[in-house]
């Protein structure tokens, strides 16, 4: 795996932590907009890694790194 995908995989792992720990505010319209953007980023990163054979689907909620076998 070349450096760009190593860096992208690291970003993906860090992003999952951010996504899972995101806190809402008291303004529902802003919360919906933020959540929508967070989901778009997550899906884009996931698609990019799947299409380039860096990760693959592993069960319902997880992905497996193809070279190392690590579940994320």
13 in any annotated domain: yes
The SS3 call for residue 35 is helix
Measured between alpha carbons, how far is 37 from 40 in angstroms, rounded to an integer? 5
Q: Is the pLDDT of residue 1 over 80?
A: no
Q: What is the pLDDT of residue 26?
A: 87
70 in any annotated domain: no
Q: What is the pLDDT of residue 54?
A: 96
Number of structural domains the chain divides into: 1
**pLDDT (tens digit per residue) in 48-57:** 999 999 999 9
The residue segments making up the domain with residue 57 are 3-65
Q: Is the pLDDT of residue 11 over 90?
A: yes
28 in any annotated domain: yes
- Helix spans in the chain (H): 3-20, 28-51
DSSP secondary structure letter of residue 71: B
72 in any annotated domain: no
Smallest CA-to-CA distance from 49 within 65, 27, 70, 26 is with 65
Q: Is the pLDDT of residue 16 over 90?
A: yes
39 in any annotated domain: yes
């Amino acid at each position: 795996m070349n450096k760009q995908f190593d860096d992208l995989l690291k970003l993906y792992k860090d992003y999952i932590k951010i996504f899972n720990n995101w806190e809402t505010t008291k303004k529902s319209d802003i919360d919906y907009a933020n959540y929508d953007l967070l989901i778009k980023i997550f899906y884009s990163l996931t698609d990019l890694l799947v299409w380039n054979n860096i990760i693959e689907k592993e069960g319902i909620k997880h992905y497996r790194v193809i070279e190392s076998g690590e579940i994320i």
